[in-house]
Each structure stands twice: as structure tokens, then as C-alpha cells.
Amino acid sequence: MAKGQKDILLGMIREGQRMSLGQQVRLALILSLPAILAQMSSMLMQYIDTGMVGRLGANPSASIGLISTSTWILGGFTAGACSGFSVQIAHLCGAKDFKGARKILREGLTSVLTLSFFLAAVGIALSSPLPSWLGGSPEITTDASKYFLIYSAFIPVGAVGWAASAMLQASGNMKVPSIMYTAMCALDVIFNYIFIFKCGMGVTGAALGTGLSELVTSAFAVWYVLMRSKELNIKGEKGSFIPKRRTLNNAWGITAPMWLQNVIMRGAYVMSTIIVAPLGAIAIAANAFAITAESFCYMPSYGILEASTTLIGQSIGAGRKDVAKRFSRITMTMGALIQTFLGILMFIFSRQLMGLLSVDPGVVELGAKVLRIEAFAETMYAISIVGYGCCVGAGDTLMPSLMNFCSMWIVRIGLAAILTPKMGLQGYWIAMCFELNIRGILFLWRLKGDKWMKHKVVDREREELEYAEI
């Protein structure tokens, strides 16, 4: 029934029909729920995965933790590239130009795959010296190098699957990608158990398990989008997979600011680690576990982010900026309500949450204190997360990246550098709480006007001329 409702409601956007507030809320919920469930299951499986590696001892866990930020940076470049094409597809589907969307699909898969081979080559080349550059001790650098080498080798596999999933979501299909990511997490746990424990491969087994789970799910995602997707399947249709300059230029306008944000945000996280590190082992552990515990609050908002990108993209593609603006308000309100509720629970059960992750009384006590501080940021944090998804759906990525730069590097890092030496870890989390509220206000300001919707993601007149020439 939900699937039928989704198609009808998306059709109302594309056909220019009037939508009531209730219909827009219903469509936002239909698209958001599968993505929320996928995000939550992914986080749950990640905890299980981390626990499995943790059973090997402190050094294996540290070896993976050492290069985790580096894997996030490479993953951020892949995600930005995928968005460059998926946003174009959302706009074209909104305009009912499914032939154009399939053209972007073919060219986008080729482009992302090509980029991923370059990223894989960079990762493989850096796998040996990187752990030492990051300050790893000799007892963990060997395992860290092996993990990063295998991770890098599988980048093309994960990238093409990620691209296929993002394009499906852009077409309005949130269910299949959500099932795919849930299955990938489950396979990751199964493969890790086999390679880590049954085969005795340790950290190397963890990397192989993750890579193979990506291989299986990516193969399914690519097959589905090319052969089964209602809007995007290319069965019986001739068309080139060679990217055209216009497609790449359109993608670059979206992707480049997202790559900039990737560097900005990851760099800020590294700087945050440097600020917290002098506080000692208890503070470092409490900070790491508190960040993990807080993820239960904000992961649903990332699911709503995915839905908001699709809704905004298709609405603007259909020439309905009024509908897009209402969807931005609906999805941000949804994220804020859910994350506020979860923030209240986190405040009340902060000690219990920390107790699930650590048995050290000092770590639990300090972690509970900073979680209670962070609870006051969850509402505006949700608005910044979903608001960013709305901007991406409109192709507005440069200004949000600049906003995040100012918020992270000037407000959070600047304030943390002042408060942390005086107040310890609590000072750092006060700075984080203040910054997240500022960031939410910035996105409310950005989305209040109409400038974020004035970006031309796809030049449809030029596209039609290209079709005629072909």
C-alpha cells in the first residue's frame, strides 16, 4: 500500500497537482522511514562489528581506529561524487525526463567508477607509510597498514554500489537502498565472524569481511538500478556510458563544494582530537564513547536527510519551488522533533548509555556528564543535518560548505581551544553544544529565503539539443 501511495504522491509533484500539507507529510514519512531504519540498523551492526574486533585486544582495535579518519576522508570524496549525479537525476525525474535521468545514470556510474580507481590507487600507495605519519606506535602500524591496503583495494566496489543506491534514492526508491544497506551490515558481521575468528585472520579478516559485504550488495544495487528500477532501468535502450562534458560540469558544480566540506569537517575532527588528547586516557575514552552513544540521537536525521534531498530535488525539477520550500520545513521539523525526543532520553539515561560501552567508572561518569551537555544541542543539530540535505537537493552546496567551515573552525575549534584547558572535556563539549546550535541557526537562515533554490543543476534545453544531435 505504501508503495502505491508513494508513486501517486510523487506523481502529483511531477504532474504539477496541488498537494495538501497532509499529503506532503505522508510522502516525507514514506520516504524517510526506510532510510531511518537503514541508518539505525547500520549503526547497530557497526557497534557489533567494533565489538568483534575489540575482542582481539587493545592493539587490533587501535590499529583500525588509527586510520578510521583516513577512511572517512576517502569515503567523503566518493559520496560527494555520487551526489553530483544523483541530484541531477532527482531534478530530471521531477521534470518527468526519465530518458535524461537514464543518460545521467550511465555516465555517472562510469565517472564514479573511474574516480574510485584513482582513490584506490592513492590509498594503496599510502597504506604503508600512513599509520606512521599518523603517529601510530610500532605494535599497531603493521595491522593498520594491512587494513588500509585492503580497504583501499575495495573502494571501486563500494563506490559503484554507493552511486547506484544514491541514484535509486534520487528516483524516489528509498526501500531497496535501505534493504541493501541493512543486508550489507548483516553480511559484514557474518563475514567478519568467519574471517576474524574461524580463519584466525584478525584485523586483516575484518577488512576482508567488510570488502566482501560491499561486493555482494554493490553487485545487487547495480543490477537492480540497471535492470529493475521503474524509472532508471536501461533494458532495451541504447546509450553511451562515456561521460559528456556537460554532465561532468553539472556534477562538478555540486561535487566540488562537497569535497571542500569533506576536507573541512574531517580536518576539524582531527584538530578536535589534538585538543582533547592532552586531557589523558580517561577523557579520551570518555570522549570517544560519548560520541558513539550520541549517534543514536542523530542517525534518524541522516535518514530524513536522504529523503529531503530526493523530495527537494524532484520538486525543483518539476518547477515547483513552493512545494520544495514546504518540504524543507516539513523534513526539518520531523528531524527536530525526533532528535529532540531522543535527546531527552539521552539526558535521562546518559549513565546507562555509557555503561553499555565502558565498564570503567571514571569513563562512564565523565561520559554521562558530557552527554547531558550535548542533549541541549540535539534540536538544532537535527535542523543542520536535514537542512544540509535540502540544500544538496537544490544543488546549493557551496554556501552550506562555507557555513560549516565558519561554524566548525571559528566557533567550535576556537571556543574549544579556550574552554578545554580550563574546564577539561566538559569545556570541549560545551563548545560543541554551542557550535551545533549556531550551525542550526545558520541553516534556518539559509533556508528562510529563496536563494538556495536558484541553482540550475541541469540545463534541459541544452540536453534536448544533445538528444536531437544523437
* Average predicted confidence (pLDDT) for the chain: 88
> What cell numbers appear for 105 in the block?
545514470
Q: What is the mean pLDDT of residues 168-196?
A: 89
Q: How confident is the model at residue 467 (pLDDT cuts 50, 70, 90)?
A: very low
Counting residues of the chain whose pLDDT is more than 90, the rounded percentage is: 59
pTM of the model as a whole = 0.85
Give the pLDDT of residue 449. Answer: 86
pLDDT digits 0-9 by tens, 227-271: 999 999 998 888 899 999 999 999 999 999 989 888 888 788 778
Asked whether the beta carbons of 392 and 83 are under 8 A apart, the reply is yes
Q: What is the mean pLDDT of residues 464-468?
A: 47
SS3 of the chain: the string is CHHHHHHHHHHHHHHCCCCCHHHHHHHHHHHHHHHHHHHHHHHHHHHHHHHHHHCCCHHHHHHHHHCHHHHHHHHHHHHHHHHHHHHHHHHHHHCCCHHHHHHHHHHHHHHHHHHHHHHHHHHHHHCCCHHHHCCCCHHHHHHHHHHHHHHHHCHHHHHHHHHHHHHHHHCCCCHHHHHHHHHHHHHHHHHHHHHHHHCCCHHHHHHHHHHHHHHHHHHHHHHHHHHCCCCCCCCCCCCCCCCCHHHHHHHHHHHHHHHHHHHHHHHHHHHHHHHHHHHCHHHHHHHHHHHHHHHHHHHHHHHHHHHHHHHHHHHHHCCCHHHHHHHHHHHHHHHHHHHHHHHHHHHHCHHHHHHHHCCCHHHHHHHHHHHHHHHHHHHHHHHHHHHHHHHHHCCCCHHHHHHHHHHHHHHHHHHHHHHHHHHCHHHHHHHHHHHHHHHHHHHHHHHHCCHHHCCCCCCHHHHHHHHHHC
pLDDT digits 0-9 by tens, 408-455: 999 999 999 999 999 999 999 999 999 999 999 999 999 998 899 887
Q: How confident is the model at residue 41 (pLDDT cuts 50, 70, 90)?
A: confident
Whether the per-residue pLDDT at 85 is higher than 60: the answer is yes
